[in-house]
Amino acid sequence: MGPVRWTWQREPSPVVGTLVGLALVVLATVALVPVRDDASRAIPALVLVLPVVAAGVTGGRIAAVLVALGSAAAFNLAFIPPYGSPDIDVFEDAVAVVVLVVVGLAIGTLVAQEAARRRTAEQRAEALRTLNEQYEIVQAEREQLLEETTRLAVLEQVDEQRTALLRSVSHDLRTPLAAIKAVASDLREQVDYDDATRDDLLDLVVEEAERLDRIVANLLSMSRIEAGALQPERQAVALDELAANCVRRLARLFKRVRVELAFPEDLPLADADYSQLDQVVGNILENAARYAPPASVVRVGGRAVPPDRVALTIEDEGPGVPRHEQTRAFAPFARGKGSTGSGVGLAICRAIVEAHGGTIAVEEGLTGGARFVVTLPVHRA
């Protein structure tokens, strides 16, 4: 319970109040009768107010008025000569009755008001408590609902991502498959192809099969990333060698564009997982090959970033990535305008680079094309 309250805890009871008051009247009278001739008449008059107050406090207005009348009678009988007889001194008795009744009424009214106030306060407190309880219940329900809504939203999002992934994967897989099926079904026809065309078509099948292989590799990485199983096995990696190998491997993609590799002699070694980094560079190069206009140049380079980083840059002369899409480009399934890719490749790049404690970003290159910058920690011997 709260702090002690200076109010009566019980409702005023007229019967109890009257009895208590009258008992006090008798007590006071008995106590004061022996000294009634020595003292001023004001003393019994004042003392007899006390039972009225007590009755008012414990019994309310009715008890106070009844005891006031009792006090007045006792005063008349016991303290106004001739003692013991109900001689009426109109003035003195009237004053005593009026004063006592007024005091009784005042006290009783105050007590009644206090009781009413207390009742109201209690009702309010009760109402508040009920409200509070209801509020708490509602609050709890609200929190539960909110939690469920969030969970549903997350599930929905996962579902949407799954659908988006499936859609983009089937699109990605079908495009090279369509080329392979078209060529293979045609070659079976025993048509008289000239040697150059036949060679070109067979090349096409090989290229598209390699593309399928890269898509499958990306999908495997994606599932590893989702499962949280992407753990780089770090070693010292020479970025110039890795880039050169990667370009050689993807040479078929760069028939129409020229790739220039330019690395400083003293480029620090990167601390990275070779095959994972190879995939990052491969994805960015494939991206560049897709957007670079014919006969343009794709520039691959590197530089030290003091104190403890090394950067790899790949820049094309294509249309570039608009500023507002530069962050979004690495989100899963984000496909740039005019893109025919699935939007999975760059997301994988980011996941791999971040697993290395590195950064990846795309910015505007010198010719307005896309410049991808990957920074990685330097390998410490």
Q: CB under 8 A: which stretch of 132-140, 142-150, 188-196, 367-375 binds other proteins?
A: 188-196
Taking CB under 8 A as the rule, does residue 201 contact other proteins? yes
Which one of residues 37, 38, 189, 195 is an interface residue with other proteins (CB under 8 A)? 189
Does residue 82 have a cis peptide bond before it, meaning omega lies within 30 degrees of 0?
Answer: yes
Q: Decide whether 141 or 186 has the Cβ nearer to other proteins.
A: 186
CB of 204 to other proteins, least distance (A): 6
305 touches other proteins (CB under 8 A): no
Which stretch in 130-138, 198-206, 243-251, 264-272 sits in contact with other proteins by CB under 8 A? Answer: 198-206
CB of 254 to other proteins, least distance (A): 13
Stretch that binds other proteins, among 118-126, 259-267, 298-306, 332-340 (CB under 8 A): 332-340
CA distance 290 to 345: 13
- Binders of other proteins among residues 335 to 354 (CB under 8 A) are 337-340
For residue 9, state whether it binds other proteins (rule: CB under 8 A): no
For the CB of residue 285, give the shortest distance to other proteins in the complex, in Å. 16
Cβ proximity to other proteins: between 235 and 340 the closer is: 340
Alpha-carbon gap, residue 277 to 242, rounded angstroms: 8
Which residue of 182, 236, 238, 244 would you call a contact of other proteins, by CB under 8 A? 182
Q: Minimum Å distance from CB 335 to other proteins?
A: 9
- Cβ 162 to other proteins, closest distance in Å? 18
Scanning 1-9, 22-30, 173-181, 350-358 for contacts with other proteins by CB under 8 A, the matching segment is 173-181
Question: Least distance from C-beta 148 to other proteins, angstroms?
Answer: 34
CB of 180 to other proteins, least distance (A): 8
Q: Which is nearer to other proteins, 290 or 303 (CB)?
A: 290
151 binds other proteins (CB under 8 A): no
Q: What angle do CA 196, 201, 206 make, to 5 degrees?
A: 125
Interface residues toward other proteins, by CB under 8 A: 171, 174-183, 185-186, 189, 191-194, 197, 200-201, 204, 207-208, 337-340
